[in-house]
C-alpha cells in the first residue's frame, strides 16, 4: 500500500532530527563551553562540588616543627531539572513539504535548548558580589574591562578569563576599538568556527563574547559578566534527547526534545558583574 507508515520510515525521520538537533545545540551554546562541566551519574539528580580555600606557606627555621594547617573545604550543590519543547508533526505536513521538515524541527529544537541553557548560565552573573563599571544607564567602557580583569587577578582567579555581554552592551567597547582593529592584518584569526558568531576579541587578557540571551531589563540595561571558568558550573544529567509518540487518530507524531541539567555559582570572587546600557549604540 502506498504511503504506508512503517517502523523503517519513522526511524529514518527521527534519526535526522537527532543528528541535526545535537549539532545545532553544540554550535549555538556559548556559555556551556566557558564554565565548569559536570556529569551527574549513579543516581540522584544533583552533584556536590567541593570548594577548597586558599592556603599559605611560610618560612620555617631549620629543625623546627611545622604547625598544622586546617584543610576544610566547603561545597556547592547543583541540582538538575528538566527543560523541554514539543511539537506535533502531522503526516500531511511531513509528506507535502518541499523542505526537510525533520531537519527544520531539529534546528529549532536544538537552538531553543541551547538558548535556554545560555540564558540560565548568564543569569548567574547577577549573583556575583563584586561589580565594576558605571552602572545602569552608562555605557560599558574598555576601562571597565581592565578593572574587572584586575579584580580577578587580585583574587587569584585561575585564567583564562571570559567576558559575556549583550551585543548592544558591548557595542561601545567595539566602537572604541575601531582604530585599534582597523585593517584585516590586525584582526585575530578566531580559529574555532563554533565560536565565530559570538567571539569579539581579547581585551585586557579577557576573551570577550556577545550573546543576545542575556536579559535586558525594562530600563534598557543588562548585566554582563567577566569570570574565570571556575566561577560557574553546569551539571548535565541528560543531554539533548528527542523522543516521539504516535497519535494515530490525529495522523501525526508528537516530537519532544528535553534536556536535564542544573547551573550554579561555584566561586563568587572569581566573577565580576558589569551593569551597563543595552539600548544606545
Q: What is the pLDDT of residue 13?
A: 65
In the predicted model, what is the mean pLDDT of the chain?
Answer: 82
Instruction: Name the domain count of the chain.
Output: 1
- Check whether 180 has a pLDDT greater than 60: no
Residue 202 has pLDDT above 60, yes or no: yes
- Across 41-55, 76-90, 95-109, 180-194, least confident range: 180-194
Domain range for 167 is 7-51+72-277
Residue 57 lies in a domain: no
Task: Confirm whether 196 is domain-assigned.
Answer: yes
Tell me whether strands 199-203 and 206-210 are parallel, antiparallel or unpaired. Answer: antiparallel
**pLDDT at residue number 87:** 87
192 has a pLDDT exceeding 50: no
Write the CB contacts of 227 (distance below 8 Å, at least 6 apart in sequence): 34, 125, 128, 152, 157, 161, 162, 163, 270, 271, 272
* Sign of the Cα pseudo-torsion (196, 167, 116, 204, in order): positive
Quote the pLDDT of residue 182. Answer: 45
pLDDT of residue 21: 75
Tell me if residue 204 falls in helix, strand or coil.
coil
CB 200 within 8 A of CB 208: yes
Predicted confidence at residue 144, as pLDDT, reads 93
pLDDT for 281 equals 60
Nearest to 152 by CA among 234, 264, 231, 263: 231
pTM (predicted TM-score): 0.81
Listed in sequence order, the residues at least 6 apart from 29 whose beta carbon sits closer than 8 Å to its beta carbon are: 114, 117, 118
8 Å CB contact between 274 and 148 = yes
Beta bridge partners, 82, equal: 260
User: Is residue 26 assigned to a domain?
Assistant: yes
Inform me whether the pLDDT recorded for 242 exceeds 50.
Answer: yes
Q: Which residue has the higher pLDDT, 194 or 267?
A: 267
CA distance 10 to 110: 20
Instruction: Please list the residues that pair with 234 across neighbouring strands.
Output: 37, 263
Q: What is the pLDDT of residue 6?
A: 44
Answer whether residue 33 is part of any domain.
yes
Q: How many helices (DSSP H) and strands (DSSP E) are in the chain? A: 5, 12
pLDDT (tens digit per residue) in 127-179? 999 999 878 888 898 899 999 999 999 999 999 999 999 988 988 887 776 65
C-alpha to C-alpha distances, 120 to 123, 244, 246, 248, nearest whole angstrom:
5, 26, 32, 37
Give the residue-averaged pLDDT of 181-210. Answer: 59
In a domain, 61, yes or no: no
- How confident is the model at residue 57, as a pLDDT? 84
In a domain, 1, yes or no: no
Q: Name the one residue in this structure whose C-alpha cell is 565565530.
A: 196
**Residue 165 domain flag:** yes
Per-residue pLDDT of 57-71, as tens digits, reads 888 888 888 888 888
Report yes or no on 56 lying in a domain.
Answer: no
Res 12: pLDDT: 63
If one counts every other C-beta atom within 10 angstroms of the C-beta of residue 30, the result is 23
The C-alpha atoms of residue 222 and residue 123 are separated, in whole angstroms, by 10
pLDDT at 224: 93
Q: Looking at residue 178, what is its pLDDT?
A: 60
The CATH number of residue 99's host domain is 3.90.1690
3-state helix, strand, coil in the chain (%, to 5): 30, 30, 35
Chain segment 22-44, per-residue pLDDT in tens: 777 766 778 999 999 999 987 88
What are the φ and ψ backbone dihedral angles of 40, each rounded to 5 degrees? Answer: -90, 115
Can you give the pLDDT at residue 4?
44
Residue with the three cell numbers 501525526: 252
The single-letter DSSP state of residue 197 is T
In tens, the pLDDT along 109-121 reads 888 998 999 999 9
Whether 3 has a pLDDT exceeding 50, the answer reads: no
- Chain centroid to CA 188: 23
Amino acid at each position: 500500500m502506498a504511503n504506508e507508515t512503517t517502523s523503517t520510515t519513522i526511524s529514518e525521520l527521527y534519526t535526522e532530527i537527532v543528528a541535526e538537533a545535537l549539532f545545532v545545540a553544540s554550535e549555538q551554546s556559548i556559555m556551556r563551553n566557558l564554565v565548569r562541566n559536570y556529569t551527574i551519574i549513579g543516581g540522584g539528580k544533583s552533584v556536590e562540588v567541593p570548594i577548597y580555600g586558599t592556603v599559605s606557606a611560610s618560612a620555617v627555621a631549620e629543625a623546627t616543627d611545622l604547625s598544622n594547617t586546617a584543610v576544610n573545604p566547603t561545597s556547592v550543590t547543583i541540582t538538575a531539572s528538566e527543560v523541554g519543547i514539543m511539537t506535533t508533526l502531522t503526516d500531511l505536513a511531513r509528506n507535502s513539504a518541499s523542505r526537510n521538515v525533520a531537519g527544520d524541527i531539529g534546528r529549532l529544537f536544538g537552538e531553543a535548548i541551547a538558548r535556554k541553557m545560555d540564558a540560565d548560565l548568564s543569569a548567574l552573573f547577577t549573583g556575583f558580589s563584586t561589580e565594576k563599571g558605571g552602572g545602569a544607564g552608562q555605557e560599558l567602557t574598555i576601562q571597565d574591562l581592565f578593572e574587572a580583569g584586575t579584580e580577578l587577578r587580585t583574587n587569584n582567579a585561575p585564567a583564562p578569563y571570559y567576558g559575556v555581554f549583550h551585543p548592544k552592551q558591548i557595542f561601545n567597547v567595539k566602537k572604541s576599538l575601531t582604530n585599534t582593529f582597523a585593517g584585516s592584518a590586525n584582526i585575530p584569526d578566531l580559529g574555532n568556527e563554533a565560536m565565530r558568531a559570538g567571539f569579539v576579541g581579547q581585551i585586557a587578557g579577557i576573551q570577550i563574547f556577545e550573546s543576545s540571551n542575556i536579559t535586558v531589563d525594562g530600563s534598557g540595561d543588562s548585566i554582563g559578566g567577566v569570570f574565570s571558568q571556575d566561577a560557574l558550573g553546569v551539571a548535565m544529567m541528560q543531554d539533548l534527547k528527542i523522543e516521539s509518540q504516535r497519535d494515530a487518530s490525529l495522523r501525526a507524531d508528537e516530537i519532544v526534545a528535553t534536556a536535564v541539567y542544573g547551573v550554579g555559582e561555584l566561586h563568587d570572587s572569581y566573577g565580576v558583574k558589569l551593569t551597563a546600557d543595552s539600548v544606545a549604540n
